[in-house]
Amino acid sequence: MRFVSTNKNSSPVGFLDAMKRGLAPDGGLYMPENVPVLDQGFWQSLHRFDFPDIAFQMAHPYLADELSDDAIQTLVNDAFDFPLSLKSLTDGHHILELFHGPTLAFKDFGARFMARLFSESTEKSQAEVTILVATSGDTGSAVARGFYKVPGVRVCLLYPKGKVSPLQEKQMATLGENITALEVDGVFDDCQRLVKEAFTDEELNQALQLSSANSINIARLLPQSFYYAFALSELQKKGISDVIFSVPSGNFGNLTGGLLAKKMGLPVKKFIAATNVNDVVPQFLKGSGFLPKPSVQTVSNAMDVGNPSNFARMLHLYGGSEEAVRNDLAGYSYSDSQTIETIRAVYESEEYLLCPHTAIGYRAASEFKNSKLSSSSEIVTLATAHPVKFRDVIEKEIDIELEIPNTLKKDLERKKTSIPMGSSYGEFRSFLFEF
Protein backbone atom coordinates (compact mmCIF):
# COMPACT_ATOMS: atom_id res chain seq x y z
CA MET A 1 0.00 0.00 0.00
CA ARG A 2 1.40 3.36 -0.98
CA PHE A 3 0.65 6.77 0.45
CA VAL A 4 0.32 9.92 -1.62
CA SER A 5 0.37 13.59 -0.68
CA THR A 6 -2.84 15.67 -0.71
CA ASN A 7 -0.80 18.27 -2.64
CA LYS A 8 -0.10 15.63 -5.34
CA ASN A 9 3.50 16.72 -5.79
CA SER A 10 5.52 14.12 -3.84
CA SER A 11 6.37 10.55 -4.74
CA PRO A 12 4.29 7.85 -3.05
CA VAL A 13 5.89 6.10 -0.03
CA GLY A 14 5.07 3.14 2.24
CA PHE A 15 3.26 3.55 5.56
CA LEU A 16 6.36 3.56 7.77
CA ASP A 17 8.08 6.19 5.63
CA ALA A 18 4.95 8.33 5.59
CA MET A 19 4.86 8.05 9.38
CA LYS A 20 8.52 8.99 9.85
CA ARG A 21 8.23 11.98 7.56
CA GLY A 22 5.04 13.32 9.07
CA LEU A 23 4.43 15.87 6.34
CA ALA A 24 5.06 15.03 2.66
CA PRO A 25 7.96 16.97 1.05
CA ASP A 26 5.48 19.12 -0.92
CA GLY A 27 3.85 20.22 2.35
CA GLY A 28 0.75 18.02 1.83
CA LEU A 29 -0.66 15.34 4.14
CA TYR A 30 -0.24 11.64 3.42
CA MET A 31 -3.27 9.60 2.39
CA PRO A 32 -3.61 6.02 1.11
CA GLU A 33 -3.29 5.92 -2.67
CA ASN A 34 -6.41 3.72 -2.83
CA VAL A 35 -8.62 3.22 0.19
CA PRO A 36 -9.08 -0.55 0.67
CA VAL A 37 -12.70 -1.71 0.85
CA LEU A 38 -13.28 -4.61 3.25
CA ASP A 39 -15.97 -7.08 2.35
CA GLN A 40 -19.64 -6.78 3.30
CA GLY A 41 -19.46 -9.91 5.45
CA PHE A 42 -16.99 -8.22 7.77
CA TRP A 43 -19.07 -5.07 8.25
CA GLN A 44 -22.25 -7.05 8.83
CA SER A 45 -20.71 -9.27 11.47
CA LEU A 46 -18.75 -6.70 13.47
CA HIS A 47 -20.64 -7.80 16.59
CA ARG A 48 -18.63 -11.03 16.57
CA PHE A 49 -15.29 -9.27 17.01
CA ASP A 50 -13.71 -7.49 19.94
CA PHE A 51 -11.94 -4.18 19.50
CA PRO A 52 -8.38 -5.44 18.86
CA ASP A 53 -9.75 -7.84 16.21
CA ILE A 54 -11.62 -5.03 14.46
CA ALA A 55 -8.45 -2.93 14.63
CA PHE A 56 -6.40 -5.79 13.18
CA GLN A 57 -8.75 -6.24 10.22
CA MET A 58 -8.84 -2.52 9.47
CA ALA A 59 -5.08 -1.96 9.90
CA HIS A 60 -4.02 -5.02 7.93
CA PRO A 61 -4.39 -3.70 4.35
CA TYR A 62 -2.30 -0.63 5.20
CA LEU A 63 0.52 -2.42 7.01
CA ALA A 64 0.71 -5.92 5.54
CA ASP A 65 3.49 -4.99 3.04
CA GLU A 66 5.75 -3.95 5.88
CA LEU A 67 4.77 -5.96 8.96
CA SER A 68 3.94 -9.61 9.56
CA ASP A 69 0.44 -10.56 10.72
CA ASP A 70 1.88 -11.42 14.13
CA ALA A 71 3.50 -8.02 14.41
CA ILE A 72 0.24 -6.26 13.49
CA GLN A 73 -1.68 -8.33 16.03
CA THR A 74 0.85 -7.55 18.78
CA LEU A 75 0.74 -3.89 17.81
CA VAL A 76 -3.03 -3.55 18.19
CA ASN A 77 -3.11 -5.68 21.35
CA ASP A 78 -0.45 -3.54 23.03
CA ALA A 79 -1.65 -0.17 21.79
CA PHE A 80 -5.28 -0.74 22.76
CA ASP A 81 -4.95 -2.46 26.12
CA PHE A 82 -7.49 -0.13 27.78
CA PRO A 83 -11.28 -0.36 27.58
CA LEU A 84 -13.67 1.60 25.37
CA SER A 85 -17.42 1.50 25.71
CA LEU A 86 -20.72 2.61 24.24
CA LYS A 87 -23.17 4.11 26.74
CA SER A 88 -26.79 4.36 25.67
CA LEU A 89 -28.79 7.34 26.89
CA THR A 90 -32.46 8.04 26.04
CA ASP A 91 -33.92 8.95 22.61
CA GLY A 92 -31.55 6.87 20.49
CA HIS A 93 -28.53 8.79 21.78
CA HIS A 94 -25.33 6.85 22.39
CA ILE A 95 -21.98 8.01 23.73
CA LEU A 96 -18.80 6.32 22.55
CA GLU A 97 -16.41 6.73 25.49
CA LEU A 98 -12.90 7.08 24.10
CA PHE A 99 -11.36 8.43 27.28
CA HIS A 100 -10.31 5.38 29.26
CA GLY A 101 -6.69 5.43 28.10
CA PRO A 102 -3.76 6.64 30.23
CA THR A 103 -4.27 10.39 29.59
CA LEU A 104 -8.08 10.26 29.56
CA ALA A 105 -8.59 11.58 26.02
CA PHE A 106 -9.07 9.90 22.64
CA LYS A 107 -5.62 11.02 21.55
CA ASP A 108 -4.25 7.98 23.41
CA PHE A 109 -5.47 5.77 20.52
CA GLY A 110 -3.37 7.57 17.91
CA ALA A 111 -0.36 8.23 20.13
CA ARG A 112 -0.05 4.66 21.43
CA PHE A 113 -0.49 3.11 17.99
CA MET A 114 2.13 5.41 16.51
CA ALA A 115 4.58 4.88 19.38
CA ARG A 116 4.50 1.12 18.95
CA LEU A 117 4.95 1.38 15.19
CA PHE A 118 7.92 3.66 15.72
CA SER A 119 9.57 1.18 18.02
CA GLU A 120 9.01 -1.58 15.42
CA SER A 121 10.60 0.48 12.68
CA THR A 122 13.52 1.77 14.74
CA GLU A 123 14.34 -1.72 15.94
CA LYS A 124 14.82 -2.60 12.28
CA SER A 125 16.97 0.42 11.39
CA GLN A 126 18.73 0.66 14.79
CA ALA A 127 19.03 4.45 14.48
CA GLU A 128 17.81 6.55 17.35
CA VAL A 129 15.02 8.93 16.36
CA THR A 130 14.33 12.24 18.07
CA ILE A 131 10.71 13.29 17.98
CA LEU A 132 9.91 16.98 18.37
CA VAL A 133 6.38 18.00 19.35
CA ALA A 134 4.93 21.42 20.04
CA THR A 135 1.82 21.13 22.19
CA SER A 136 -0.86 23.26 23.76
CA GLY A 137 -1.88 20.41 26.10
CA ASP A 138 -3.64 17.16 25.21
CA THR A 139 -1.34 16.09 22.38
CA GLY A 140 1.73 16.48 24.58
CA SER A 141 0.34 14.31 27.35
CA ALA A 142 -0.79 11.54 25.00
CA VAL A 143 2.50 11.53 23.08
CA ALA A 144 4.61 11.63 26.26
CA ARG A 145 2.70 8.69 27.72
CA GLY A 146 2.59 6.79 24.43
CA PHE A 147 6.34 7.00 23.80
CA TYR A 148 7.46 6.59 27.42
CA LYS A 149 10.29 4.01 27.54
CA VAL A 150 9.83 3.08 23.87
CA PRO A 151 13.31 1.91 22.80
CA GLY A 152 15.11 3.81 20.04
CA VAL A 153 12.99 6.94 20.41
CA ARG A 154 13.58 10.15 22.36
CA VAL A 155 10.82 12.70 22.65
CA CYS A 156 11.31 16.42 23.13
CA LEU A 157 8.06 18.25 23.92
CA LEU A 158 7.73 22.02 23.83
CA TYR A 159 4.88 23.63 25.74
CA PRO A 160 4.15 27.26 26.58
CA LYS A 161 4.96 28.20 30.17
CA GLY A 162 1.85 28.85 32.28
CA LYS A 163 -0.53 28.14 29.38
CA VAL A 164 -1.34 24.47 29.92
CA SER A 165 -3.53 23.16 32.74
CA PRO A 166 -1.74 21.88 35.88
CA LEU A 167 -2.94 18.37 35.12
CA GLN A 168 -1.72 18.48 31.52
CA GLU A 169 1.65 19.70 32.76
CA LYS A 170 1.89 16.82 35.24
CA GLN A 171 1.02 14.35 32.50
CA MET A 172 3.78 15.47 30.16
CA ALA A 173 6.51 17.09 32.22
CA THR A 174 7.14 14.58 35.00
CA LEU A 175 7.99 11.33 33.24
CA GLY A 176 11.74 11.60 32.63
CA GLU A 177 13.54 8.65 30.96
CA ASN A 178 13.25 9.21 27.17
CA ILE A 179 10.75 12.07 27.53
CA THR A 180 12.12 15.60 27.86
CA ALA A 181 9.73 18.51 28.32
CA LEU A 182 10.79 22.06 27.56
CA GLU A 183 8.84 24.84 29.23
CA VAL A 184 9.06 27.62 26.68
CA ASP A 185 8.90 31.22 27.74
CA GLY A 186 6.29 32.18 25.16
CA VAL A 187 2.99 31.07 23.63
CA PHE A 188 2.05 27.94 21.66
CA ASP A 189 2.96 29.65 18.36
CA ASP A 190 6.53 30.12 19.64
CA CYS A 191 6.77 26.39 20.39
CA GLN A 192 5.52 25.58 16.92
CA ARG A 193 7.96 28.05 15.32
CA LEU A 194 10.93 26.50 17.14
CA VAL A 195 9.97 23.03 15.96
CA LYS A 196 9.49 24.18 12.38
CA GLU A 197 12.87 25.92 12.35
CA ALA A 198 14.53 22.77 13.65
CA PHE A 199 13.01 20.71 10.81
CA THR A 200 14.44 23.06 8.16
CA ASP A 201 17.90 23.33 9.81
CA GLU A 202 20.11 21.16 7.58
CA GLU A 203 23.09 20.95 9.89
CA LEU A 204 20.88 19.84 12.76
CA ASN A 205 19.14 17.26 10.58
CA GLN A 206 22.50 15.76 9.71
CA ALA A 207 23.35 15.38 13.38
CA LEU A 208 19.98 14.04 14.54
CA GLN A 209 17.27 11.95 12.93
CA LEU A 210 14.29 14.20 13.56
CA SER A 211 10.65 13.27 13.31
CA SER A 212 7.33 14.65 14.46
CA ALA A 213 4.30 13.18 16.21
CA ASN A 214 1.77 15.89 15.66
CA SER A 215 -1.83 15.11 14.88
CA ILE A 216 -1.52 15.24 11.11
CA ASN A 217 0.71 12.15 11.12
CA ILE A 218 -0.90 9.30 9.16
CA ALA A 219 -0.06 6.88 12.00
CA ARG A 220 -2.27 8.89 14.33
CA LEU A 221 -5.09 9.20 11.81
CA LEU A 222 -5.46 5.53 10.90
CA PRO A 223 -6.35 4.17 14.39
CA GLN A 224 -8.99 6.88 14.68
CA SER A 225 -11.01 4.99 12.07
CA PHE A 226 -11.14 1.74 14.09
CA TYR A 227 -13.45 2.79 16.91
CA TYR A 228 -16.23 3.92 14.57
CA ALA A 229 -16.56 0.25 13.63
CA PHE A 230 -16.51 -0.71 17.32
CA ALA A 231 -19.51 1.59 17.94
CA LEU A 232 -21.47 -0.14 15.21
CA SER A 233 -20.44 -3.56 16.54
CA GLU A 234 -22.04 -2.66 19.87
CA LEU A 235 -25.20 -1.37 18.14
CA GLN A 236 -25.45 -4.52 16.02
CA LYS A 237 -25.82 -6.45 19.28
CA LYS A 238 -29.07 -4.49 19.73
CA GLY A 239 -30.23 -5.17 16.18
CA ILE A 240 -29.21 -1.79 14.76
CA SER A 241 -27.51 -1.83 11.36
CA ASP A 242 -26.55 1.72 10.48
CA VAL A 243 -25.68 4.86 12.30
CA ILE A 244 -25.00 8.62 12.36
CA PHE A 245 -21.88 9.93 14.13
CA SER A 246 -21.52 13.29 15.83
CA VAL A 247 -17.87 14.29 16.23
CA PRO A 248 -16.64 17.18 18.41
CA SER A 249 -13.96 18.65 16.16
CA GLY A 250 -11.01 21.02 16.05
CA ASN A 251 -8.32 19.95 13.63
CA PHE A 252 -10.74 17.36 12.16
CA GLY A 253 -8.46 14.33 12.48
CA ASN A 254 -11.05 12.40 14.42
CA LEU A 255 -13.81 13.07 11.92
CA THR A 256 -11.50 12.24 9.01
CA GLY A 257 -10.88 8.86 10.69
CA GLY A 258 -14.64 8.29 10.47
CA LEU A 259 -14.79 9.25 6.80
CA LEU A 260 -11.98 6.80 6.15
CA ALA A 261 -13.93 4.02 7.90
CA LYS A 262 -16.97 4.83 5.75
CA LYS A 263 -14.88 4.69 2.59
CA MET A 264 -13.63 1.24 3.73
CA GLY A 265 -17.26 0.11 3.81
CA LEU A 266 -18.64 0.94 7.28
CA PRO A 267 -22.34 1.72 6.84
CA VAL A 268 -22.71 5.30 8.10
CA LYS A 269 -25.64 7.51 7.07
CA LYS A 270 -24.14 10.84 8.02
CA PHE A 271 -21.42 12.59 10.01
CA ILE A 272 -22.08 15.65 12.12
CA ALA A 273 -19.20 18.13 12.39
CA ALA A 274 -19.67 19.76 15.79
CA THR A 275 -17.48 22.75 16.72
CA ASN A 276 -17.23 25.59 19.19
CA VAL A 277 -17.22 29.15 17.80
CA ASN A 278 -14.20 28.17 15.71
CA ASP A 279 -16.67 27.24 13.00
CA VAL A 280 -14.76 27.24 9.71
CA VAL A 281 -16.06 23.79 8.69
CA PRO A 282 -19.75 24.31 9.68
CA GLN A 283 -19.63 27.57 7.70
CA PHE A 284 -18.19 25.72 4.73
CA LEU A 285 -20.96 23.12 5.00
CA LYS A 286 -23.56 25.88 4.91
CA GLY A 287 -22.23 26.87 1.51
CA SER A 288 -19.46 29.41 2.05
CA GLY A 289 -15.95 28.53 0.86
CA PHE A 290 -13.32 27.13 3.21
CA LEU A 291 -12.25 30.33 4.94
CA PRO A 292 -9.68 29.86 7.75
CA LYS A 293 -9.59 32.55 10.44
CA PRO A 294 -7.60 33.21 13.62
CA SER A 295 -8.63 30.88 16.44
CA VAL A 296 -10.68 32.06 19.41
CA GLN A 297 -10.16 30.70 22.94
CA THR A 298 -13.07 28.70 24.41
CA VAL A 299 -13.84 26.27 27.27
CA SER A 300 -13.46 23.40 24.80
CA ASN A 301 -9.85 24.43 24.22
CA ALA A 302 -8.68 21.30 22.38
CA MET A 303 -10.99 22.40 19.56
CA ASP A 304 -9.74 25.97 19.26
CA VAL A 305 -8.50 25.64 15.71
CA GLY A 306 -9.01 28.34 13.09
CA ASN A 307 -7.44 26.51 10.14
CA PRO A 308 -8.16 22.77 10.46
CA SER A 309 -5.34 20.94 8.64
CA ASN A 310 -7.32 17.78 8.00
CA PHE A 311 -9.79 19.58 5.77
CA ALA A 312 -7.40 18.83 2.90
CA ARG A 313 -7.78 15.13 3.69
CA MET A 314 -11.57 15.35 3.84
CA LEU A 315 -11.68 16.88 0.36
CA HIS A 316 -9.15 14.33 -0.90
CA LEU A 317 -11.39 11.44 0.25
CA TYR A 318 -14.23 12.88 -1.85
CA GLY A 319 -12.05 13.34 -4.93
CA GLY A 320 -11.93 17.10 -4.40
CA SER A 321 -15.71 17.53 -4.66
CA GLU A 322 -16.98 20.09 -2.13
CA GLU A 323 -20.51 19.09 -2.96
CA ALA A 324 -19.86 15.46 -2.07
CA VAL A 325 -18.41 16.53 1.30
CA ARG A 326 -21.50 18.66 1.98
CA ASN A 327 -23.76 15.68 1.19
CA ASP A 328 -22.21 13.43 3.83
CA LEU A 329 -21.82 16.01 6.60
CA ALA A 330 -23.98 18.34 8.65
CA GLY A 331 -22.33 21.10 10.71
CA TYR A 332 -23.23 22.85 13.95
CA SER A 333 -21.35 25.25 16.22
CA TYR A 334 -21.98 26.45 19.77
CA SER A 335 -20.85 29.15 22.18
CA ASP A 336 -19.35 28.55 25.63
CA SER A 337 -22.63 29.36 27.36
CA GLN A 338 -24.47 26.82 25.19
CA THR A 339 -21.74 24.28 26.00
CA ILE A 340 -22.14 24.76 29.75
CA GLU A 341 -25.94 24.74 29.45
CA THR A 342 -25.73 21.37 27.69
CA ILE A 343 -23.43 19.86 30.33
CA ARG A 344 -25.90 20.96 32.99
CA ALA A 345 -29.04 19.79 31.14
CA VAL A 346 -27.67 16.35 30.30
CA TYR A 347 -26.39 15.90 33.83
CA GLU A 348 -29.83 16.76 35.20
CA SER A 349 -31.87 14.65 32.81
CA GLU A 350 -29.57 11.67 32.27
CA GLU A 351 -27.22 11.79 35.26
CA TYR A 352 -24.41 11.65 32.74
CA LEU A 353 -21.53 14.08 32.79
CA LEU A 354 -20.08 15.33 29.51
CA CYS A 355 -16.73 17.10 29.06
CA PRO A 356 -17.02 20.50 27.30
CA HIS A 357 -15.92 19.00 23.95
CA THR A 358 -18.31 16.07 24.11
CA ALA A 359 -21.14 18.43 25.15
CA ILE A 360 -20.80 20.20 21.80
CA GLY A 361 -21.07 16.89 19.96
CA TYR A 362 -24.11 15.88 22.02
CA ARG A 363 -25.88 19.18 21.42
CA ALA A 364 -25.25 18.93 17.68
CA ALA A 365 -26.66 15.38 17.72
CA SER A 366 -29.82 16.64 19.45
CA GLU A 367 -30.23 19.55 17.06
CA PHE A 368 -29.79 17.22 14.11
CA LYS A 369 -32.41 14.84 15.51
CA ASN A 370 -34.90 17.68 15.77
CA SER A 371 -34.19 18.98 12.27
CA LYS A 372 -35.94 18.06 9.06
CA LEU A 373 -32.82 16.18 7.94
CA SER A 374 -33.35 13.65 10.67
CA SER A 375 -34.14 10.02 10.03
CA SER A 376 -34.88 7.23 12.43
CA SER A 377 -31.18 6.37 12.75
CA GLU A 378 -29.44 6.10 16.07
CA ILE A 379 -26.80 8.76 16.76
CA VAL A 380 -23.46 8.08 18.39
CA THR A 381 -21.56 11.05 19.85
CA LEU A 382 -17.83 10.54 20.29
CA ALA A 383 -16.82 11.37 23.88
CA THR A 384 -13.32 12.73 23.39
CA ALA A 385 -12.21 13.38 26.98
CA HIS A 386 -13.06 12.39 30.54
CA PRO A 387 -14.99 15.21 32.26
CA VAL A 388 -12.56 15.18 35.18
CA LYS A 389 -9.88 16.60 32.87
CA PHE A 390 -11.96 19.77 32.80
CA ARG A 391 -12.94 19.74 36.41
CA ASP A 392 -12.14 23.47 36.91
CA VAL A 393 -14.69 24.48 34.27
CA ILE A 394 -17.33 21.96 35.34
CA GLU A 395 -17.17 22.47 39.11
CA LYS A 396 -17.31 26.23 38.68
CA GLU A 397 -20.51 26.06 36.66
CA ILE A 398 -22.31 23.06 38.05
CA ASP A 399 -22.84 22.14 41.66
CA ILE A 400 -20.98 18.84 41.81
CA GLU A 401 -17.65 17.61 43.04
CA LEU A 402 -15.79 15.30 40.71
CA GLU A 403 -13.88 12.38 42.07
CA ILE A 404 -10.35 12.13 40.74
CA PRO A 405 -9.48 8.69 39.33
CA ASN A 406 -6.49 6.94 40.91
CA THR A 407 -4.36 7.16 37.78
CA LEU A 408 -4.74 10.94 37.84
CA LYS A 409 -3.94 11.16 41.53
CA LYS A 410 -0.63 9.49 40.80
CA ASP A 411 0.05 11.94 37.97
CA LEU A 412 -0.67 14.87 40.27
CA GLU A 413 1.77 13.65 42.91
CA ARG A 414 4.74 13.51 40.58
CA LYS A 415 7.35 16.27 40.44
CA LYS A 416 7.76 18.47 37.40
CA THR A 417 11.09 17.90 35.65
CA SER A 418 10.80 20.23 32.67
CA ILE A 419 13.67 22.39 31.47
CA PRO A 420 13.10 26.15 31.06
CA MET A 421 13.75 27.39 27.53
CA GLY A 422 13.75 30.86 25.96
CA SER A 423 11.82 31.47 22.77
CA SER A 424 14.82 32.15 20.51
CA TYR A 425 15.85 29.49 18.03
CA GLY A 426 19.56 29.83 18.92
CA GLU A 427 19.00 28.58 22.46
CA PHE A 428 16.80 25.68 21.35
CA ARG A 429 19.31 24.72 18.64
CA SER A 430 22.26 24.59 21.06
CA PHE A 431 20.15 22.50 23.39
CA LEU A 432 19.40 19.97 20.63
CA PHE A 433 23.06 19.67 19.63
CA GLU A 434 23.88 18.77 23.23
CA PHE A 435 20.78 16.55 23.63
Residue ranges that bind ligand PLP, judged by CB under 6 A: 105, 107, 138, 215, 248-254, 302-303, 357, 384-385
Backbone φ, ψ for residue 346 (5° rounding): -70, -35
- Give 325's DSSP letter: H
Rounded to the nearest whole angstrom, what is the least distance from the CB of residue 302 to ligand PLP in the complex? 3
Of 28 and 257, CB closest to ligand PLP: 257
Looking at the Cβ atoms of 296 and 419, the one nearer to ligand PLP is: 296
Strand partners, 282: none
State the DSSP code for 1: -
Which residue intervals of 64-199 are DSSP H helices? Answer: 69-79, 107-125, 138-147, 166-172, 188-199
d(CA 238, CA 173): 43
CB of 356 to ligand PLP, least distance (A): 8
Amino acid identity, residue 374? Answer: S
Give me the residues paired with residue 86 across strands. 96
CB 422 to ligand PLP: min, Å: 28
Q: List the Cα angle 371/377/379 in 5-degree steps.
A: 80
Beta carbon nearer to ligand PLP, 270 or 313: 313
Q: How far is the CB of 138 from ligand PLP (least distance, A)?
A: 4
Q: Give the side-chain half-sphere CA count within 13 A for 229.
A: 33
Question: Residue 400: what residue type?
Answer: I
Residues 11 and 4: their CA atoms lie apart, in Å, by 7
8 A C-beta contact, residue 301 and residue 241: no
The distance of closest approach from Cβ of residue 107 to ligand PLP in the complex, given in angstroms and rounded to an integer, is 5
CB of 22 to ligand PLP, least distance (A): 16
DSSP SS3 for 202: helix
Minimum distance of ligand PLP from residue 430's CB (angstroms) = 32
**Which lies closer to ligand PLP via its Cβ, residue 212 or residue 254?**
254
Residue 28 vs 250, nearer CB to ligand PLP: 250
Pairing of strands 30-32, 268-275: unpaired
* Active-site entry in 107, 170, 262, 270: 107
- CA dist., res. 189 & res. 197, Å (int): 12
Give yes or no: 163 in active site: no
- DSSP-H helix ranges across 45-106: 51-63, 69-79
316, 6 Cβ separation under 8 angstroms: yes
Nearer to ligand PLP, 32 or 248 (CB): 248
If one counts every other C-beta atom within 10 angstroms of the C-beta of residue 140, the result is: 29
What is d(CA 29, CA 303) in angstroms, rounded to the nearest whole number? 20
What phi and psi, each to the nearest 5 degrees, are found at residue 230? -60, -40
Q: Smaller CB distance to ligand PLP: residue 158 or 303? A: 303
Catalytic residues: 107
